[in-house]
Amino acid sequence: MNKDIILLRTVEVAAIASYKYIGKKDKNTLDGAAVEAMEVVLKSAEGFSVKVINGEGELDEAPMLYSGQILGDQSNQKHMFDVCVDPVEGTNPAAYNFAGSIATIAISRLNTMLKLPEMYMEKLFVSSQFKDCADLKQGIIACVEKMQAKSQKKDLKAIVLDKPRHTDIIKQFDELGVIVRLIKDGDVLAAIDVVNGEADFVYGIGGAPEGGLMASLAISSGCKMVAKLVSYNQVWPNEKETATRVQKESEALAQAKLSFGQILTDIDLINDPRTRFFAAGITAGGTLKAIDYLNGKYYVSAFMSSHGVIRNIKSIYDMDQINSLKPEIKYLFDKYKR
């Protein structure tokens, strides 16, 4: 089967498995369902295999979709690829049933993805119109002013994570005339909105591993992303675990040969112009719609980008027919049916 179809199915089935737990206020169980679903679909892949570069995370000591795990058809090592995965990007929105969660995966040629430490990252994702304006060396305000000058308008549309660490920058954006849409979680989902023309850029300090997904999205869609790693101490200076996290960050940076002052472009994160990005809505929001269920059928809103081609996809999963034709994933639907 076509590799892209399998990867699209991977995110769609992850969204379906998580559906049972949307709004149940149990992040771990919801995430576990999506993780298992992704692993099962990837394990059953024929004709290619994948190596997880940025996965569920070393801090969580995840038993599935962990960094270095290999899934799929391992009989042909010539067809192995790198992947970044996030079975539920936005576990809190999914657990409490508000907008902001998706299942997502990115793929590239073997040994082209940078393994990112589990830490914070300052990220700027801009539409294709502003590719030459994305340069964090001069700071985010200088980038915004360049975009305003290029477009000859002040009222750019920005999406920003609504976090205390962004209070000052949100105020500065407002003073510049930028229209700001605040989101609680989900900067990868927000970047999809930029690709689909709903905003000009996404900015904020969020998780570094998600940066790999956003890099794939930028490259595959013709947009641009730049980023910079941020110390835990900068975001949470007074927490009990700060000293321990800072020490772990220092070790991770040394191992990865990275530094806090280093500007990382999307190509630095994924050095493959043919990278592909896939996502499916869970509670979603914006241009990607939430998963729904009616009369034995799941209605899934999915997204794919590759080679500058953007696809917004509506899929309908008829459980009766799938269960008779796809025994390798039937038990997932039985286990996680609502």
* pLDDT, tens digit, 9 for 90 and up, residues 212-235: 999 999 999 999 999 999 999 998
Query: What is the domain range of residue 244?
Result: 120-269
Contact status, residue 108 vs residue 286, Cβ threshold 8 Å: no
pLDDT digit string, tens, across residues 224-281: 999 999 999 998 988 889 999 989 889 888 888 898 889 999 999 999 999 999 999 9
Does residue 92 sit in the same domain as residue 170?
Answer: no
The residue-averaged pLDDT of 57-78 equals: 76
Residue 59 has pLDDT above 60, yes or no: no
- Report pLDDT for 238: 87
* Boundary (domain end) residue, out of 229, 246, 269: 269
- Report pLDDT for 324: 66
Q: Which ranges constitute the DSSP H helices of the chain?
A: 3-19, 27-43, 91-96, 140-151, 167-176, 187-195, 209-221, 232-235, 242-256, 266-269, 319-325, 327-336
What is the pLDDT confidence band of residue 99, given thresholds at 50, 70 and 90? Answer: very high
The residue-averaged pLDDT of 295-324 equals: 91
Query: 83 to each of 48, 90, 141, 285, how far by Cα in Å?
Result: 12, 19, 33, 24
Find all residues with CB under 8 Å of 287, minimum gap 6, and list them: 192, 193, 196, 198, 312
- Report pLDDT for 58: 56
Look at residues 227, 275, 268, 270 and name the one whose alpha carbon lies nearest to residue 111. 270
Residue 155 has pLDDT above 90, yes or no: yes
Among the ranges given (93-107, 183-197, 311-325), the one the predictor scored with the smallest mean pLDDT? 311-325
Residue whose pair of structure tokens reads 């794939």 in the numeric block: 216
- Report pLDDT for 319: 82
Does residue 205 sit in the same domain as residue 145?
Answer: yes
Does residue 167 sit in the same domain as residue 235?
Answer: yes
- Report pLDDT for 266: 97
Average pLDDT, the chain: 91
- Report pLDDT for 327: 62
Does residue 261 sit in the same domain as residue 285?
Answer: no
CATH number for position 23: 3.30.540.10
Residue 329 has pLDDT above 80, yes or no: no
- Report pLDDT for 338: 65
pTM over 0.85: yes
Does residue 311 sit in the same domain as residue 297?
Answer: yes
pLDDT more than 90, % of the chain:
74
**In whole angstroms, what is the distance from residue 226 CA to residue 126 CA?**
9
- Report pLDDT for 276: 98
Name the burial class of residue 80, with classes exposed (0-12), middle (13-18) and buried (19+) by CB atoms within 10 angstroms of its CB: middle
Does residue 43 sit in the same domain as residue 144?
Answer: no
Does residue 243 sit in the same domain as residue 312?
Answer: no
- Strands 292-294 and 297-306, by their bridges, are antiparallel
161-168 contacts: CB < 8 A, separation 24 or more? 161/185, 161/187, 161/204, 161/205, 161/206, 163/204, 163/205, 165/205, 165/235, 166/204, 166/205
Residue 100 has pLDDT above 80, yes or no: yes
Does residue 25 sit in the same domain as residue 85?
Answer: yes
Total count of domains within the chain: 2
* Boundary (domain end) residue, out of 269, 287, 321: 269
Does residue 205 sit in the same domain as residue 295?
Answer: no
* Boundary (domain end) residue, out of 269, 291, 309: 269
Calculate ∠ Cα 192-197-199, nearest 5°: 80
Does residue 218 sit in the same domain as residue 319?
Answer: no
pLDDT more than 70, % of the chain:
93
Among the ranges given (61-75, 102-116, 253-267), the one the predictor scored with the smallest mean pLDDT? 61-75
**In whole angstroms, what is the distance from residue 273 CA to residue 269 CA?**
11
Distance of CA 175 to the CA centre of its chain: 30
Residue 172 has pLDDT above 60, yes or no: yes
Does residue 64 sit in the same domain as residue 163?
Answer: no
pLDDT digit string, tens, across residues 5-47: 999 999 999 999 999 999 999 999 999 999 999 999 999 888 8
Does residue 192 sit in the same domain as residue 282?
Answer: no
